[in-house]
Chain A
Amino acid sequence: MVELRFRDDAAVDEPGTTLDGFLDQSNATAVRIEAGEDVRRLLPFLDRLRLVEIAFPTYRDGRGYSAARILREAGYTGELRAAGDVLVDQLWFMRRTGFDSFAPEKALDPAAVERALNRYASVYQRAADGRPPVWKLRHG
């Protein structure tokens, strides 16, 4: 269940189909990517996609961060949801790589979420969140 959402548009109701299912089906608008599946296969269909849900089977499995960034770098602007073993300590990195909704298996403490997302005022790298890296702040 979606617990955190950083978007103003209406949530997508339809459940995400599997990647193979999505590629076989011309009208689906939501897809679920399992860890290890290649999100680049979605790139020809970004226009009709409204939701990509990326599975985190365990928080230690970081493949989803690359998947998210690849989609955002390719221009995907729909909802990008992290689902599964999503813990408060990973939220900041997930936001930075382009996730804008979260369906954690275990409920998150809202105060801890607030702290985690506002802890760091600046960042060292360009990612998918539009934040300028520190070198940009230093040199304009």
Chain B
Amino acid sequence: MYRYDQYDQAIVDARVDEFRDQVARRLSGEFTEDQFKPLRLKNGLYLQLHAYMLRVAIPYGTLDGRQMRMLAHIARKYDRDYGHFTTRQNIQYNWIKLEEAGDILADLASVEMHAIQTSGNCIRNISSDQFAGAAADEVGDPRPWAELLRQWSTFHPEFSYLPRKFKIAVVGSDTDRAAIQLHDIGLQLVEQGGELGFKVFVGGGMGRTPIIGACIKDFLPARHFLSYQEAILRVYNRYGRRDNIYKARIKILVTELGAEEFARQVEAEWREILPLGIDAPVAEIERIEGFFAPPPFETGLADDVDLSDPDFAVWVKQNVHAHKVPGYAIATISLKPVGGIPGDASSAQIERIADLAERYSFDEIRVTHAQNLVLPHVRKADLYALWQGLRDADLANANLDLASDIIACPGLDYCSLANARSIPVAQALAERLAPIERDPGELKIKISGCINACGHHHAGHIGILGVDRKGEENYQLLLGGSGAEDASLAKIIGPGFTQDGVVEAVDKVLGRYRELRTDGERFLDTYRRVGVDPFKAAVYG
């Protein structure tokens, strides 16, 4: 875990003071809401349908027990006793009082957390692989690079008024668990001739114009990491469109110029700034890497797990992944109980997870972009005790990557941008599909309540998009998306449905899949093999 030094702490503390001052000026009437809006939005404070919403950054989705306890404390003291983990590995609180926003930030700062740049047209929270440092397949740990990006992007003087928001993700293995090709910049750690570097993707994104990112550099030497990001951002800041908010993301610039021409402009800019000393020195990389050194793993541990409890066995099969160290495992805590709200956790649950992380996972917790949590370093011998501890807090849902592990945005229940509710659709689908979900196996259903795609519907094996049709909530069905290393965009299959109708339609799609699949095929594989027509026929008759 990264720990702040006096410089990091002073910057975050100064931000708390600044925001307190801005809130006081709003409360005194010195600012109108119009004047206050751009200021609060720089700090993740949104005015939603019913109340202020505060989005707290969880840099690259990594936190410890002390920080988790503070998230529970904030939920209990300032909100309605729960928080919502998001697809950007952050946490949101839905019922915030403006008067208390400064106190919340001060509480966060006391555990080295903040809400800086969790909204606004700037570089947002850096996201990463939830298995970083634990995955058996990684070339290197992406978190030090994500932390370097966090610092570099914090209050960047040139890039705080970009054409539009900007999202960067970093991973360290070929398996992409962070959807890097659907980010403004996606970075993959790679090795070439013994040297570490990055494969650089640019211009991916979802929203109303979904695009898969283009690789503009096969190997960026790690020592030039920051200067190259700076070059990309400068080209975007200068030439990204500002005449139309819907065409302002970098993906539109990359598409309009063509990836090759965009890459050429970045290279030209990079040559200009390379001599300016923008890159952090090796000593700084090593300092940050020191915080992410492996925890003191025991050696000689057994790899056996006693699976005689059948419920436990199901959970292990579904929610536990291989760890790079023998005798250890990665455990994912699903925040998708059937009938629950995807990504929500109560204060008591958040505290329970903090306890379990301290006891069984070297005090480390990760947030996933699929709105679940991970304990990355669990001794296999402790898995049963961990599972019991989770079960007692209703956290032992054995549905990771199955049909009821649905990504859903807050939708019209909370969000002022939404056209339709997402949560009730997720609940109805989970209830319908949970009894049969083990048969299809991996199935990623993703639901957004509007075209902004916070629920990643473009990247769903099955995606659902809520729209407004003449004042009625209407749901479009999309098939064939993926946010993984084989990224693809889901396509709308035909006219939309009511809420009940879309649940029926998904059921029919899965019925058709069961008829068509060959052995071992996931839904996505079958879809890619046979195309959309059989599914259209099943749904529309």
Contacts and interface: CB of A to CB of B under 8 A. Distances in A.
B156 A138 contact: no
A45 interface: no
B154 A138 contact: no
Interface stretch (A5-13, A20-28, A54-62, A76-84): A54-62
B17 interface: yes
Interface residues of B, number: 38
B284 interface: yes
B257 interface: no
Interface stretch (B7-15, B181-189, B478-486): B7-15
Given A120-B11, A124-B151, A65 B18 contact: no
Contacts of A138: 5, 7, 283-284, 287
Nearest to B234: A66
A124 B10 contact: no
B5 to A, nearest CB: 7
B158 interface: yes
Nearest to B163: A62
B429 to A, nearest CB: 39
B336 to A, nearest CB: 37
A62 B155 contact: no
B155 A123 contact: yes
A62 to B, nearest CB: 3
A32 interface: no
Contacts of A96: 157
Contacts of A70: 272
A92 B157 contact: yes
A124 B5 CA distance: 13
Given A62-B159, A73-B272, A93-B157, A124 B11 contact: yes
Interface in B13-71: 14, 17-18, 21, 38-39
Given A73-B276, A97-B158, A138-B7, A119 B18 contact: yes
A93 B120 CA distance: 16
A61 B242 contact: yes
A62 B162 contact: yes
A129 B84 CA distance: 40
Given A60-B121, A124-B155, A127-B157, A135 B281 contact: yes
Pick from A89, A93, A126 the residue with the most CB of B within 10 Å: A126
A70 B287 CA distance: 31
A67 B293 CA distance: 41
Given A60-B161, A139-B281, A134 B237 contact: no
A115 interface: yes
A137 interface: yes
Contacts of A1: none
Nearest to A35: B242
A2 B379 CA distance: 66
A73 to B, nearest CB: 6
Given A63-B237, A122-B11, A127 B284 contact: no
Nearest to A57: B242
Nearest to A122: B7
A90 to B, nearest CB: 8
Nearest to A39: B238
Contacts of A134: 7-8, 151
Contacts of A94: 157
Contacts of A125: 152, 156-157, 278
Contacts of B234: 66
Contacts of A133: 280
B273 A73 contact: yes
A126 B158 CA distance: 11
Contact of B158 (A60, A69, A92, A119): A69
Interface in A25-59: 59
Nearest to B283: A139
A66 B238 contact: yes
B161 A135 contact: no
Pick from B8, B17, B158, B287 the residue with the most CB of A within 10 Å: B158
B209 interface: no
B155 A121 contact: no
Interface string B159-170: 111110000000
A133 B227 CA distance: 14
A69 B234 CA distance: 10
Contact of B284 (A67, A115, A126, A139): A139
Nearest to B273: A73
Interface string B137-177: 00000000000000110111111111100000000000000
A29 B519 CA distance: 76
B277 A65 contact: no
A62 B17 contact: no
Contact of A126 (B121, B237, B276, B287): B276
Contact of B280 (A62, A73, A135): A135
A96 B488 CA distance: 41
B35 to A, nearest CB: 9
Contacts of A124: 11, 151-152, 154-156
A100 to B, nearest CB: 14
Nearest to A97: B157
A43 to B, nearest CB: 11
A97 B237 CA distance: 14
A135 B160 CA distance: 21
Interface of A: 59-63, 65-67, 69-70, 73, 89-90, 92-94, 96-97, 115, 119-127, 133-135, 137-139
6 contacts: A61-B242, A66-B234, A124-B152, A126-B276, A126-B278, A135-B281
Given A93-B157, A123-B155, A139-B287, 12 more contacts: A60-B38, A60-B121, A62-B159, A62-B160, A62-B163, A63-B238, A65-B158, A66-B238, A115-B21, A121-B10, A126-B277, A135-B280
Interface of B: 5, 7-8, 10-11, 14, 17-18, 21, 38-39, 121, 151-152, 154-163, 234, 237-238, 242, 272-273, 276-278, 280-281, 283-284, 287
